[in-house]
Amino acid sequence: MIIEKSIDAHGGAEAWNELETFSLQKESWLYLENGEVESHVFQDIEFRQKPFFEGKLSWEKDSLVHQLIFDGVRTRYWMGENEMQNEGFLANKKKDIDAAYYVLTKPFDLLGGNKNIEYQGVSSLADGREVETVQVIDGDQKDPSVDIWWYYFDKDSFLIVGYKVKTSGHFSMVYNTDWDNSTGIHFPKKRESYRVDSLGNHIYLRAKYGFKSFKVN
């Protein structure tokens, strides 16, 4: 029920299911534990959802244009004029496309696929806000390598306040701090990501993200 209300709050299942393509610009700052900037990247991102999944990420680094493309079958990567051919490298880069898409599709795909969903009641975040909490395990919950996600929903609006994820090496807590509703879909406009302990206590600011120029078709 909470996820269904959140889908409605974010624009509705019908609008999302009719969405063939969407594109945006993403700005990312990664920080070291001492607060220094590790990297600053500005990306153009495009996704096609129908009739099959395609993704394209492009950005500039060290005066070279990088392009990462998945055409539905094959992953390709260019660094300037040079196309990378290493299959292991390309497989890891496909994960980058999947991850970029994964965090932009919530809450619309939370009820699909092989997911174990568990309502965990009302929780308090580090800033004191009380939120509805739903745990989602996407895959075989007996597999220790499978990530565990906790999604936090505003008790009144049912928008996603943020989420915590347990990966194989650490916990992260991501907050949605602003929204873009220019397309009729509630996409994130600003996000902050913290490395946290298992209880959600902040250890340090890991990243900030800005999203803009959303276009849908």
pLDDT tier at 202, thresholds 50, 70, 90: very high
Residues 6+ apart with CB under 8 A from 114: 138, 139, 140
The span from the CA of 2 to the CA of 36, in Å, is 38
pTM of this prediction exceeds 0.85: yes
Tens-place pLDDT, residues 3-37 = 999 999 999 999 999 999 999 999 999 999 999 99
Quick one: average pLDDT of 41-45?
A: 97
**Is residue 89 classed as helix, strand or coil in its secondary structure?**
helix
Kindly report the number of other CB atoms within 10 A of residue 127's CB atom.
8
CB–CB of 30/207 below 8 Å?
Answer: yes
Domain that holds residue 134: 2-216
Q: DSSP E strands: which ranges in the chain?
A: 21-31, 37-48, 54-61, 64-70, 75-79, 82-84, 115-124, 130-138, 148-154, 160-166, 171-180, 187-196, 202-216
The span from the CA of 127 to the CA of 21, in Å, is 36
CB–CB of 147/166 below 8 Å?
Answer: yes
Domain count of the chain? 1
Which CATH number do you get for residue 188?
2.50.20.10
- Residue 26 β-bridge partners: 43, 211
pLDDT at 138: 83
Tens-place pLDDT, residues 81-139 = 999 999 999 999 999 999 999 999 999 999 977 889 999 999 999 888 999 999 999 87
